[in-house]
């Protein structure tokens, strides 16, 4: 039976001509499972590869990586959510400056139906893995594991490691990492496709990245045992001060979302720049929940009569990043932390390196603008 995917698209991305053939969906599902080191059925085109030593090494490594992700990070986040009654405010989650950080997005916001991730790294495309030699596949999977290990160890992606992903011969770019993480998190990947963002803000299916338009990658997936199809869209795009202007394609796309859950983590203090103050204000208008560390939107941008803060961890000053200046202390945020901060037992943002993470959960007060 052919699975119709059109109804699962983002509102601005509906494409009624999209009907992925069942055999194509099956192969794409197997690609995600293969990348995650899962056992595949005998009828899979990858089955013979899974019986070879290089894949069995991959399988063992990925099992250990999954155990690390769940025991070090996911389980603690789930415990935190339960203790603090944290839940999404809507069914759309937007993660700016995300890199390939699927685990945090999915763990904090598992009940959303549509997800948007935006970062500079190219999405690239998934080629014909069956055409690669065993040696090429082995080397490609090794490089994939190195990239994914950053999250398992620190709950944090280093930019330098992500930049190297585009040179992975058999699995270039962010797309393979997204697929592998989704399958590792027990999501059922149904299908995926390369997309470009057209001038009207619609995501249009394409065969490869575009040199003239914003390129991205769209994944259709569902939770185990659930029939609802969800979408994860990754866009390779710079977040500039006019990011959500309705004069721009990305602004037109954003305008279709309604109110969102906004996530900012290890966000290079972008919104601390004066040039980004208007964008910060506009993002807050479109958000009912913001989850971030101190590198996100400065605390003084949140109107105090519209937002409730719940603070966790430790904040004393901004992080010192190797290639960026140190941003000035947020005095108001430090005072808030001194008054009401609660413990945080998992790594989050730049504090992953120092052991002094901070997390701010801002929720819109009922009746706020």
- Residue-by-residue pLDDT tens, the chain, 369 positions: 334 443 334 443 443 333 455 567 889 999 999 999 999 999 999 999 999 999 999 999 999 999 999 999 999 999 999 999 999 999 999 999 999 999 999 999 999 999 999 999 888 888 889 999 999 999 999 999 999 998 888 787 777 666 666 678 789 889 999 999 999 999 999 999 999 999 999 999 987 656 668 999 999 999 999 999 999 999 999 999 999 999 999 999 999 999 999 999 999 999 999 999 999 999 999 999 999 999 999 999 999 999 999 999 999 888 887 766 667 889 999 999 999 999 999 999 988 777 789 999 999 997 666
CB 62 within 8 A of CB 36: yes
Per the domain annotation, does 20 fall within a domain?
A: yes
Per the domain annotation, does 198 fall within a domain?
A: yes
CB 177 within 8 A of CB 150: no
Specify the pLDDT at position 2: 35
Per the domain annotation, does 326 fall within a domain?
A: no
CA angle 334, 338, 342 (to 5 degrees): 110
Residue range of the domain that includes 104: 6-264
Specify the pLDDT at position 19: 43
Per the domain annotation, does 65 fall within a domain?
A: yes
Per the domain annotation, does 136 fall within a domain?
A: yes
Report how many domains make up the chain.
1
Residue 48 in tokens: 């013979």
Specify the pLDDT at position 162: 66
CB 79 within 8 A of CB 245: no
Per the domain annotation, does 156 fall within a domain?
A: yes
Per the domain annotation, does 366 fall within a domain?
A: no
* Cβ neighbour number for residue 321 with a 10 Å cutoff: 15
* CA–CA gap between residue 70 and residue 145 (Å, rounded): 16
* CA–CA gap between residue 20 and residue 33 (Å, rounded): 18
CB 267 within 8 A of CB 241: no
* CA–CA gap between residue 50 and residue 40 (Å, rounded): 7
Per the domain annotation, does 357 fall within a domain?
A: no
Specify the pLDDT at position 315: 94
């Amino acid at each position: 039976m052919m699975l119709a995917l059109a109804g699962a698209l983002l509102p601005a991305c509906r494409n009624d001509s999209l009907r992925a053939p069942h055999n194509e969906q099956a192969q794409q599902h197997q690609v995600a499972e293969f990348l995650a080191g899962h056992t595949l059925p005998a009828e899979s085109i990858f089955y013979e590869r899974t019986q070879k030593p290089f894949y069995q090494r991959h399988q063992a490594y990925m099992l250990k990586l999954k155990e690390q992700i769940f025991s070090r990070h996911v389980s603690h986040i789930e415990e935190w959510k339960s203790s603090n009654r944290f839940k999404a405010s809507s069914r759309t989650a937007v993660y700016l400056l995300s890199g390939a950080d699927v685990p945090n997005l999915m763990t904090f916001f598992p009940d959303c139906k549509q997800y948007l991730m935006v970062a500079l790294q190219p999405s690239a495309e998934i080629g014909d893995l069956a055409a690669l030699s065993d040696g090429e596949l082995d080397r490609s999977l090794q490089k994939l594991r190195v990239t994914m290990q950053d999250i398992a160890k620190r709950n944090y992606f280093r930019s330098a490691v992500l930049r190297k992903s585009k040179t992975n011969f058999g699995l270039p770019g962010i797309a393979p990492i997204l697929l592998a993480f989704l399958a590792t998190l027990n999501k059922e990947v149904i299908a995926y496709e390369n997309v470009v963002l057209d001038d009207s803000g619609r995501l249009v299916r394409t065969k490869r990245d575009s040199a003239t338009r914003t390129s991205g990658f769209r994944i259709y997936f569902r939770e185990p045992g659930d029939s609802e199809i969800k979408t994860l869209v990754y866009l390779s795009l710079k977040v500039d001060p006019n990011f959500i202007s309705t004069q721009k394609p990305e602004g037109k796309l954003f305008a279709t979302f309604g109110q969102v859950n906004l996530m900012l983590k290890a966000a290079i203090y972008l919104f601390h720049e004066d040039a980004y103050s208007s964008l910060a204000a506009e993002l807050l208008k479109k958000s009912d929940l913001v989850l971030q560390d101190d590198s996100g939107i400065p605390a003084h941008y949140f109107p105090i009569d519209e937002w409730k803060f719940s603070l966790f961890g430790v904040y004393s000053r901004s992080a010192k990043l190797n290639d960026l200046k140190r941003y000035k202390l947020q005095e108001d945020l430090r005072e808030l932390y001194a008054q009401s901060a609660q413990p945080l037992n998992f790594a989050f943002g730049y504090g992953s390196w120092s052991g002094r993470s901070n997390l701010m959960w801002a929720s819109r007060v009922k009746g706020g603008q």
